[in-house]
Amino acid sequence: MKKIILASVFAALSLTTAIANDGDLTLPGERWATKFTAFVCGDGNVQATAVPTDFAAYNIQISTMTTDYSLDNYLVKATFQENNVTCNYSAILLADNAAWTIKLVDSRAYSTVDGSVCAAGKAVLDSALADNKYAYLHGRAAIFAPVAGAEASCGAGASVVGLHFQVTGKL
């Protein structure tokens, strides 16, 4: 009897892991929701700028960012196109609020189309979110990401473009 129960527990855990690996990452204790509004330059102002070239190449569409109560842990969600397939992307980021920095902790990209890898677009997003400065002011946040085409988007000498989010409410 113990072997049957133990086998059932392992089977359930394996199924849960398989399902979790095919879906978005989750952030326990999500508290605040935001929506992506624009790519910005400078101090995170809301003046929109052009889509960075590496984001345009994969048709990267950032949708939301949520945070927990501490405002230390963030979950960013996006989609992108790779080999004519839509890929879903989610990333967990950790902020150091005293230093105004934010770092990638984990990410996942997947497609519901069998055999699709989504690796190249994931690499672009992972690189952009790896280790950045950020700004937060009055319900707005911007993550300043090093992206190809930053100068074309934000002017000579620019090396980053801000990903601007607007708070939409409490979860």
3-state secondary structure 54-122: HHHHCCCEEEEEEEECCCCEEEEEEEEEECCEEEEEEEEEEEECCCCEEEEEEEEEECCCCCCCCHHHH
Q: Name the residue among 78, 24, 25, 48 with its Cα closest to residue 142.
A: 48
In this prediction, residue 9 carries a pLDDT of 31
DSSP state of 46: S
For residue 22, what pLDDT is reported?
64
pLDDT in tens, 71-126: 899 999 999 999 999 999 999 999 999 999 999 999 999 998 887 889 999 999 99
CA distances from 159 to 124, 127, 163 (A): 15, 13, 13
Question: What share of the chain in percent tops pLDDT 70?
Answer: 85
Half-sphere exposure of 46 (CA within 13 A, CB side): 10
Q: What is the pLDDT of residue 11?
A: 34
More confident call, 137 vs 86: 86
| Mean local confidence (pLDDT), 60-78 | 96
Q: Could you tell me the pLDDT band of residue 42, with boundaries at 50, 70 and 90?
A: confident
pTM here? 0.84
> pLDDT at residue 44 above 60?
no
Rounded to whole angstroms, the Cα distance separating 39 from 133 reads 15
